[in-house]
Amino acid sequence: MAAKCPASPTAALIEERFYDSFECQICTLANIRRFRLLPCQHKLCIDCLQSILLSRSKKCPFCKIALHKSQATDYPVCRQTVQLWDNIQGLQSDLSQQKKRKDDNCSTLGCDRKIDMHCTKCLLYMCFQCSKSKCNESESRVHDLNEYDEEKETLAKVKNESWKEAQQDRLEKIKKERSRLMDKIKRRMAVITDENFSETMKHVKETKVMIELLKDMESRATEELENRTMEEDEIDVDDISELVEKFSMFEKKTFEIVRHQEIENKKVVYSVARSPNDGIITGDVKGFTIYTSNGKQVKSIPTVTAEPTCVICVRSYNQQIYVLCEELAFGKRRTMVVLNSVYGEIYNFPVCGYHQVSQFAICNDKFYVADPRKKRLIVHSTNQRESAGKVLSEIPNDSFHTPAFLSLCPPGSLIISDPGAHKVYKLDCRTDKFTWVSTAVTEPGSVCCDQLFHVLVWCAVKRQIAVLSTDTGELRKWISLDAFGFPDQGHIIDMCLRENSLWAAALRHGLYKFDFA
């Protein structure tokens, strides 16, 4: 039995609170009635448990306690999980019976007259006579009434259906990608052995990070869609966009900074990104530097090139590190260097030059390199079987001016910031078509994305960070850094998010870390 999001918002919140209880801790599938309880009280689905028992290690993947029984069916069913799931489903059924539904007649029990009025407080549709009754949702006990306009209501429903179709299409794409990653985990678990146990569990952990992101996206998109379906008769016909805002609950995260940490102030830092080893990697004048997630420097690695270079942009992708090196000499030639997880060079190739800092991003096995000089993005292949760095295509845009800052926007998109055009763009990397263009930020700078559908954009004019919606590019709020010791003349040239921390490369002011509540 697979878990599904309840239709009731209340039941959905309860299920979300207990969601970890409904999923296998390895493959993340919610096989509620196929969970088996281990002696250490960890639980796994029967398929993953059987794969472990067939390996020579036969240990719990989490606490390493030995598992002595040879068959997954020899371990007891996790009845607490089944009972909890059944209780939530029962609650969902009870709550669904209490939904308020509107038809052609007055919603007052026992009244069959046609609708004349609509109360904006209790959301009931009533005849003129019943509208004189008390309102349970108003302090004055008086209904806040509007005349019922059937034509405007019909128009709003058409807009509502169009929105629902687009949201459903987006939801299906998320489900398809999550299913693909789950199949990937199952294939790895099917061939697990004692020799590859550690490596397999490492890959499983990495894949689960993306699955968790997609699960969160799917849950919130489903909740928004079902909330809209439940209350589709309560549409604000004068401003349909306000209704979309009302149900986009994940757009309302506050991003309150609680403290900051100055990590490095003795050198120029051009770029910052997550490293393949769960730390942070930065690019600077002499090469790149590795830090732990707590900000402790691990090592500094100089670039090995024919001419002196600096690292103006660094990114990680598929357990590899991609470094954009720029010559310090007049020519400003640029080279993309690809390194393995222990910092050994795999290959390199030249990319377009530019007299100022510009960045690149990687998505769907393609390099996207900003070429502000010619107002375009250049797309290179990451396939080592082909010519290294082969140019696949160019992406121009008539409104480009200086498209310099790029960031990955999971799943399958990029965010491009163009300070000269005062615009931020979202690019779908499956089609290389632009999804939206936002003019909400004047002179936008560095950009990054979090796991809850937010785009963070540095604004040098305001010296603040704008939070935009990933879906629409609309401005959600501003984050000020002034109260947290950020230098008056500081400028964020690159940034990335790791868990609840924002890491910022601030050029000559070094590297900063801001922790969010």
Report DSSP letters for 221-276, one per residue: HHHHHHHHHHTGGG--TT-HHHHHHHH-GGGG----EEEEEEEE-SS-EEEEEE-T
Clarify whether residues 167 and 272 are in a common domain: no
Residue 361 structural domain: 257-516
Task: Report the SS3 class of residue 204.
Answer: helix
Q: Are strands 287-291 and 280-284 parallel, antiparallel or unpaired?
A: antiparallel
Give strand pairing partners of 366: 363, 381
Residue 143, classified by CB atoms within 10 Å of its CB into exposed (0-12), middle (13-18) or buried (19+), is: buried
Give the domain-ending residue among 228, 252, 276: 252
Same domain flag for 245 and 339: no
How far, in Å, CA of 161 to CA of 165, rounded?
Answer: 6
Each of the 517 residues of the chain gets a pLDDT tens digit; together they read 444 444 445 555 555 556 666 777 777 666 667 788 888 888 888 888 888 888 877 888 887 888 888 888 899 888 777 777 777 777 666 555 544 444 567 877 778 788 888 888 777 788 888 888 888 777 778 888 888 776 566 655 666 666 677 777 777 877 777 778 777 777 777 777 767 777 777 777 777 767 777 777 777 767 766 665 544 444 444 443 443 343 333 334 445 554 556 676 667 888 999 888 778 999 888 888 888 888 888 888 887 666 677 888 999 888 888 988 887 765 567 888 888 878 888 888 888 776 666 788 988 888 898 888 888 899 988 876 666 678 889 998 889 998 989 998 877 889 999 999 999 999 998 889 999 999 999 999 999 987 666 899 999 888 889 999 888 899 988 888 776 667 766 788 999 888 778 888 988 888 888 876 5
Contact 114, 104 (CB under 8 A): yes
Q: Are residues 326 and 427 in the same domain?
A: yes
381 and 244 in one domain? no
- What is the number of residues in the chain? 517
Q: How far is CA 75 from the centre of its chain?
A: 37
Residues 430 and 504 in one domain: yes
Whether the Cβ atoms of residue 330 and residue 347 lie closer than 8 Å to each other: no
323 and 337 Cβ atoms separated by less than 8 Å: yes
Note the pLDDT of residue 501: 82
- 382 shares a domain with 296: yes
Q: How far apart are CA 445 and CA 208, in angstroms?
A: 31
Q: Say if strands 117-119 and 125-126 run parallel, antiparallel, or are unpaired.
A: antiparallel
If asked whether residues 293 and 191 sit together in one domain, one would say: no
- The CATH number for 67's domain is 3.30.40.10
Question: What is the spatial distance between Cα 431 and Cα 3, in angstroms, rounded to a whole number?
Answer: 32
Residues sharing a CB contact under 8 Å with residue 200, sequence separation 6 or more, in sequence order = 188, 189, 192
What's 278-334 look like in SS3?
A: CCEEEEECCEEEEECCCCCEEEEEECCCCCCEEEEEEEEECCEEEEEEEECCCCCCE
C-alpha 460: how far from chain center: 25
Residue 463 is assigned to a structural domain of this protein: yes
Residue 17 in domain = yes
Q: How many domains are there within the chain?
A: 2
Specify whether 336 is located in the same domain as 359.
Answer: yes
Contacts of 14 (CB under 8 A, 6+ apart): 6, 88, 91
Greatest Cα-to-Cα distance within the chain, rounded to the nearest angstrom: 88
Q: Which amino acid is at 219?
A: S
Same domain, 454 and 326: yes
Q: Is 76 within the bounds of a domain? A: yes
CB 498 within 8 A of CB 293: yes
**330 and 409 inside one domain:** yes
DSSP class of residue 138 equals -
Q: Are residues 371 and 479 in the same domain?
A: yes
Q: Does the residue 436 lie in any domain?
A: yes
Residues 6 or more apart whose Cβ sits within 8 Å of residue 218: 171, 174, 175, 178
Q: Are residues 86 and 174 in the same domain?
A: yes
The pair of structure tokens assigned to 404 is 């310099």
Cα–Cα distance between 458 and 455 in angstroms, integer? 10
What is the structure's pLDDT at 21? Answer: 66
Tokens describing residue 468: 């935009």
Write down the residue that tokens 């501003």 correspond to: 478
| Residue 330, C-beta contacts closer than 8 angstroms, at least 6 positions apart | none
